[in-house]
């Protein structure tokens, strides 16, 4: 059990020794749960599904491709409901090639790419 998990368990049991209101406790617990979820996602990152990307129009994602390129992109869902990535350097990450597997880096086709909610730590890629 991590320190965050221990603190969260103590809060849920009310073992804080403070006079916080119930609403304050609920807010603190919600913040701890969010921190724990974010930590879990960073320790075991899962690429976003195509369906998730379709619901993220205008939101930032971290993209990697089969050539080893990495970049923060904004998702642009086009008229055909295809999510494309737009970055400031190379421009366009074509949604037709999302999660296309092959012999490139990370098991992707050289034109394939995948996206994550957060930037991957060096030891993950």
Look at strands 113-116 and 60-65 and give their pairing.
Answer: antiparallel
DSSP state at residue 76: E
Which residue pairs from 94-103 have beta carbons closer than 8 angstroms and sit at least 24 positions apart in sequence? 95/50, 95/53, 98/50, 98/53, 99/47, 99/50, 100/66, 102/66
Residue 27's pLDDT band, with cuts at 50, 70 and 90, is confident
Close Cβ partners of 27 (under 8 Å, ≥ 6 residues apart):
none
Per-residue model confidence (pLDDT) at position 15: 55
Q: Would the pTM count as exceeding 0.85?
A: no
| Average per-residue pLDDT for the chain | 82
Whether the CB-CB separation of 64 and 107 falls below 8 Å is answered with: no
Whole-number Cα distances in Å, 125 to 56, 71, 88, 107: 23, 13, 22, 11
């Amino acid at each position: 059990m991590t320190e965050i998990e221990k603190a969260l368990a103590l809060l849920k049991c009310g073992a804080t020794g403070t006079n916080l209101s119930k609403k304050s406790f609920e807010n603190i617990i919600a913040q701890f749960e969010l921190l724990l979820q974010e930590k879990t996602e960073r320790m075991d990152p899962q690429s976003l599904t195509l369906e998730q990307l379709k619901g993220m129009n205008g939101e930032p994602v971290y993209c990697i491709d089969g050539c080893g390129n990495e970049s923060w992109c904004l998702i642009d869902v086009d008229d055909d409901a295809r999510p494309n990535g737009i970055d400031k350097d190379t421009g366009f990450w074509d949604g037709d090639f999302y999660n296309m597997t092959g012999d490139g880096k990370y098991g992707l086709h050289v034109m394939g790419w995948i996206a994550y909610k957060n930037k991957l730590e060096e030891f993950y890629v």
